[in-house]
Structure 1
Amino acid sequence: MIATAERASKPYRSVQGSTLITHPDEAIAVIADSYSAARLDVYDSAADFSLRSNIIELPGLNIGYFRFGSPVRVAAPPPSCYVVCFAPTGGLDVTSGARSRIVTGNSGAVVFPGDITYFDHWEPGTELMSVRIEHKTLETKLAQMLGRSPDDPVRFRFELDLNKGACSSLSRVLRLLHAEATELGPLVHGPLTTTVLADLVTTALLTSHPHNYSEHLQQKSVALPSGSVRTARELIDYDPMAIGSVVDLATRVHSSVRALEEGFRRHLHTTPMNYLRHVRLDRAHQQLRSADPAENTVALIAQGWGFRHLGRFAQVYRSRFDELPSVTLAAAKS
């Protein structure tokens, strides 16, 4: 028996961080949220239908986890974004246009706008993970890595071999996502960790899986000229707390991250983030020397300059200034 589900409003319940759905109509809504509007064919009695799912939103992407309790087939129109698919448990057929792939834990697929995608032979117990990445998120990251805006849309190879060559790095990232999605780990909570995790996913995909810009990314980077390095250094010196990451700094000086890092190594014999860390450390040192110990603490000053871990701050501070920050602060009153 084939039951075709159409989107409707049906109740569902959450179980241990995931969602347990017992009606095909509601499954359509969940699939649309994680992938795109779809048709769901259920090859069994609708009364026995179940879907366990979990969708985690990250900046610019989301992670979807799906496991059906009965045989199904899903047909989805072309997505408006990039979708990475793999199956931590079991396997199913993924077909997009003339391309087809048996998706397992070691063999995935990257779907992008253009063709209807079919998820077929989806048997009970098979887990599917989908990572949906927005156009802007992926192309912004690519522009940062290239040092320029891409001329054409990114076109990935459809077949994804997760245990071969550079793709083994992407495999480790996807398995991390699987653990976080199924166990609701700490990386999927809070703006700082979710931003870092989203950046890790897009970076791993662009550097590990072949696409039409892969050769450009693999080319040896030309170091940033000394004048541009000086501009980057002046930006750090003027307001070190305004620079959040090496990507942020590279964007401000219209450079790729690799060219910026190579320029700092060649002209300053350090990296951008090491230079930023030293400037922040120097500013913390200056403030500790002039602060009133009755109104300030080491923790307060350290956190004001971006050092969240007090023990690590004390360690690097002592290494640079040959005394603990508490000693510097205590001496300020004399």
Structure 2
Amino acid sequence: MLSPPRTGSPLLQDHPVFASRDIEHARAQVARVFCTHDLRQVDAGQRLDCRMHRVGVGALSLNYLCYGADVDITPGPLNDFYLVQIPLSGRADIRYGRQQVHSDAATAVILSPHQGVAMRWQADCAQILLHIPRALMEQRADDDPEQPHASLDYQLALPQRSGPAAPWCQMVLDLARNIDANGAAWLRHPAATAALQDVLLRGLIGLQPHSQNARQRAAPAPALPRHIRRAQEFIEAQADQAITLVDIARAACVSERALQEGFQRHLGTTPHALLRDVRLDRVHAQLRAAANGGQPVALHDVAHRHGFFHLGRFSAYYKARFGETPSITLQRKAAHSG
């Protein structure tokens, strides 16, 4: 799990756009950077203290924004840009089309340009915003042979602390902190900004769920080669036996090297790892059944029965696959059934 973003002094302080206590002035200044929108202060008793900082990163821009009071922001569809919003502090409630997210230090959001947007930022909400022109995003997606030509509509929620895109969020925050620590002069070098822009865009396209990779996941997977299917069937049938790579290759009617290469190419794993996962799944099922039935069970006996003779490594593999130790599985299921 990644550590939560650090809070404290505003980021990008050496790159101010404006500071204002007047809501109409704040609305107009933010609109100049992003787009026209409605801005309404929720509680007139609060004192607005809006600040915006901005640094260009090639065609992208990195922005710091806070309002200092509860505000409702309604831009409607963004139309010609994407906007990543990463909270540093506080909370914002975001609605994009039919999706809704409570955004905070654990959950950022990415707003796509296609549907209406409405937001409420709490008074203590401060965010880093990455502005991405729509044309650039779609051009970069078109450059990727894995992405068919079409507009990308992203999943709204962008987890900051876990999941595939969490390191990407951390990279954006680290960029802002790097600029604060070392200045922005290096961003005037075209090669540096081009490379950074490419990393940011390709990372987001590859890691965050969106309409195009959802279609790809929904597409039927190509049929596996016969020798891979034979190996899978053999492993499933013989997982409780002391089988080796030689045995699996012989059952698949290919050499050991061809088997390993085929597994990497088509399954992204190894025969040994698949065998281990099949055995772990069976251990997990047995522990759950024993706990739910209130039956006493010795973990080392179950592990040995399924081919795990080093209990330390077994426990580590089990936790990596199921997110908990074998003993916790027993305790949790037993508690649940009681």
Distance 2:40 2:178 in 1: 29
The answer on whether the counterparts of 1:55 and 1:181 sit within 8 Å (CA) in structure 2 is no
Matched, 1:114 2:114: yes
Counterpart of 2:170 in structure 1 is: 172
Distance 2:67 2:34 in 1: 16
Q: Which amino acid aligns with 2:77?
A: P
Matched, 1:36 2:35: yes
Distance 1:61 1:89 in 2: 23
Counterpart of 1:78 in structure 2 is: 77
- Structure 2 unaligned residues grouped into runs of 5+: 1-11, 223-338
The answer on whether the counterparts of 1:180 and 1:188 sit within 8 Å (CA) in structure 2 is no
1:138-173 CA distance string (max 9 Å, x none): 1222222217x8332112112212222321221222
Distance 1:162 1:34 in 2: 25
Distance 1:72 1:168 in 2: 27
Matches within 5 A, 1:120-159: 120=120, 122-146=121-145, 150-159=148-157
Change in Cα spacing, 1:56 to 1:207, as seen in structure 2 (3 Å) is same
Counterpart of 2:97 in structure 1 is: 97
- Structure 1 unaligned residues grouped into runs of 5+: 1-13, 221-334
Task: Please state whether the residue corresponding to 2:130 is helix, strand or coil.
Answer: strand
1:84-113 CA distance string (max 9 Å, x none): 112011211111122110111221122112
Distance 1:182 1:127 in 2: 16
Distance 2:27 2:92 in 1: 19
The answer on whether the counterparts of 1:173 and 1:204 sit within 8 Å (CA) in structure 2 is no
Q: Which amino acid aligns with 1:118?
A: A
Q: Which amino acid aligns with 2:49?
A: S
Q: Which amino acid aligns with 2:100?
A: S
Matches within 5 A, 1:293-304: none
Q: CA deviation at 1:22?
A: 2.6
Task: Please state whether the residue corresponding to 2:144 is helix, strand or coil.
Answer: helix
Change in Cα spacing, 1:176 to 1:33, as seen in structure 2 (3 Å) is farther
The answer on whether the counterparts of 2:50 and 2:68 sit within 8 Å (CA) in structure 1 is yes
Q: Which amino acid aligns with 1:171?
A: C
Distance 2:38 2:196 in 1: 31
Distance 1:176 1:15 in 2: 15
Q: CA deviation at 1:29?
A: 2.4
Under a length normalisation based on structure 2, what TM-score does the superposition of the two structures give? 0.53
Distance 1:184 1:68 in 2: 27
Matched, 1:205 2:204: yes
Aligned-residue identity in percent: 16
Change in Cα spacing, 1:116 to 1:197, as seen in structure 2 (3 Å) is same
Counterpart of 1:49 in structure 2 is: 48
Counterpart of 2:15 in structure 1 is: 17
Distance 1:105 1:34 in 2: 24
Q: Which amino acid aligns with 2:15?
A: G
Counterpart of 1:185 in structure 2 is: 183
The answer on whether the counterparts of 1:83 and 1:132 sit within 8 Å (CA) in structure 2 is yes
Distance 1:194 1:83 in 2: 19
Task: Please state whether the residue corresponding to 1:201 is helix, strand or coil.
Answer: helix
Structure 1 segments, 4+ long, off by >4 Å, are 44-47, 180-184
Change in Cα spacing, 1:93 to 1:59, as seen in structure 2 (3 Å) is same
Q: Report how many residues are paired.
A: 206
Matches within 5 A, 1:220-239: none
Question: What's the RMSD between the two structures over aligned residues?
Answer: 3.1
Q: Which amino acid aligns with 1:100?
A: Q
Q: CA deviation at 1:34?
A: 3.5
Task: Please state whether the residue corresponding to 2:211 is helix, strand or coil.
Answer: coil
Q: CA deviation at 1:76?
A: 0.9
Q: CA deviation at 1:179?
A: 2.0
The answer on whether the counterparts of 1:74 and 1:118 sit within 8 Å (CA) in structure 2 is yes
Q: Which amino acid aligns with 1:163?
A: R
Distance 1:61 1:20 in 2: 22
Change in Cα spacing, 1:63 to 1:137, as seen in structure 2 (3 Å) is same
The answer on whether the counterparts of 2:94 and 2:117 sit within 8 Å (CA) in structure 1 is yes
1:238-296 CA distance string (max 9 Å, x none): xxxxxxxxxxxxxxxxxxxxxxxxxxxxxxxxxxxxxxxxxxxxxxxxxxxxxxxxxxx
Task: Please state whether the residue corresponding to 1:204 is helix, strand or coil.
Answer: helix
